[in-house]
Amino acid sequence: MKRIIFLILIVFLTFFGCNQNNNQATSTSQKITELKNINVAEFKKLKEQYSDKVILVNFFASWCPPCRQETPGFIKVYNKLKDSGFVILGFSIDDNIADAIKFVNEIGITYPVFHADRSLESYFNINTIPTSIFYIKGGKLYNLHVGYIDDKTLENYVKELLSK
């Protein structure tokens, strides 16, 4: 009798253990199918929404080699520090939104990503990508960086900003 109860318990635990893993895989592997086009007014609302956090606004494109190179590191730092008051807002400047969607899904970006309206590109005077704009808590502009940022540099910089 003890053996039967033990076997039932093993089957029960195995079932729920597998079920939990399946749910996690589904939630982390969801694919996006569209990117919201964001203009200057909508950006200001977004910035306000995240004003209690350190914000990294990153302008990128799917065809940009340095953008493709830095994005996995951005994902790593975001996943590590998002619960500490840090958010990345990605803004694709791809002409073809489908290319941006493909890139986001291919790389597995976990932070919020939008499509930058041309007015938003003009507002920030985006001439080179990647461009990263840092805001400290309260939504105050802190720094602008043009070019590639590696994950260790980004992590150290964000930790410094979180302590301000």
Q: Are residue 8 and residue 57 in the same domain, yes or no? A: no
pLDDT value of position 27: 27
Angle value at C-alpha 89, between 164 and 74, nearest 5 degrees: 80
Q: Are residue 7 and residue 44 in the same domain, yes or no? A: no
Q: Count Cβ atoms below 10 Å from residue 116 Cβ, excluding itself.
A: 27
Q: Are residue 108 and residue 151 in the same domain, yes or no? A: yes
Cα(102)–Cα(125) distance, integer angstroms = 26
Q: Are residue 15 and residue 41 in the same domain, yes or no? A: no
65-91 mean pLDDT: 98
Q: Are residue 24 and residue 43 in the same domain, yes or no? A: no
HSE toward the beta carbon, residue 63, CA cutoff 13 A: 8
- pLDDT tops 60 at residue 8: no
pLDDT value of position 31: 82
CATH of the domain at 104: 3.40.30.10
What is the residue range of 24's domain?
1-30
Q: Are residue 113 and residue 53 in the same domain, yes or no? A: yes
Q: Are residue 80 and residue 10 in the same domain, yes or no? A: no
Q: Number of structural domains, the chain?
A: 2
Percent of the chain beyond pLDDT 90? 79
Q: Are residue 102 and residue 151 in the same domain, yes or no? A: yes
Task: Give 19's pLDDT tier (boundaries 50, 70, 90).
Answer: very low
